[in-house]
Amino acid sequence: QWYQRRVRGAVREHVYDGCRLGVGSGSTVVYAVKHLSALVNTAGFKVTCVPTSFQARQLIIENGLHLSDLSQTPELDVVIDGADECDPFLNLIKGGGGCQLQEKIVAACGKKMVVIADYRKKSRELGEQWKKGIPIEVVPMAYVPVMNKLRSFGLDPVLRMAQNKAGPVVTDNSNFVVDAKFCQPHNWDVLETKLSRTPGIVETGLFVDYASVAYFGMEDGSVSVVHKPVLK
């Protein structure tokens, strides 16, 4: 119930008639899309939905919502997505499901990004709860030199292997995923710049300065709302 409560609160507060909405990936999106569908049917809202993944696309279709894409709807009013971890500054680690490239592209097209997660994703520092590292999408031919470069940044890279097939995980974009583990906090803005300048890296699951507000479903059933701090 608390999970659905935080989803309902986020959808009701940020989605409105005529809204152009980015729909994220993962477990959160299932509840968000179902509640969005109910809101559209009861309130008569017209909402245009742009998905970040195949999963999100299918959910939008199955729930009878208006499906679009960035070629038709390149500017979004709100993006609702989950996170694998979130710190007090709303820096995020995303991409546990391997959709970090599409998620970041859609997030960058939104005027506002709203994060919905449970209390286990709320951390004082990135890496406190999420121990699998930063998901990094890599061009297959470059994964070895990229992993060497990541080690020079103080990271411990591991090529993500598939569970139900032999070989590595392959993303929707036909790339590999390297999970870059770390033992201590970094200056995330600086690290993101280093990663983005590394040839062979397509995109990272480190989301710095994207989220505006986060809704956390707490263990006691309450919902904690965290707004992005205003730096003076």
Catalytic residue from among 103, 137, 192, 203: 103
d(C-alpha 214, C-alpha 116), whole Å: 6
Three-state secondary structure along 75-98?
CECEEEECCCEECCCCCEECCCCC
What is the token pair recorded at 94? 């995303």
Question: What residue type is assigned to position 172 of the chain?
Answer: D
The string over 45-78, giving b where at least 16 C-beta atoms fall within 10 Å of a residue's C-beta and e elsewhere, is eebbbbbbbebbbebbeebebebbeeeebeebbb
d(C-alpha 111, C-alpha 54), whole Å: 23
d(C-alpha 177, C-alpha 183), whole Å: 19
Q: Which residue's structure tokens are 């996170």? A: 83
Side by side, the strands of the sheet bearing 176-181 are 156-159, 176-181, 134-138, 201-204
Can 103 be counted among the known catalytic residues? yes
* Active site residues per annotation: 103
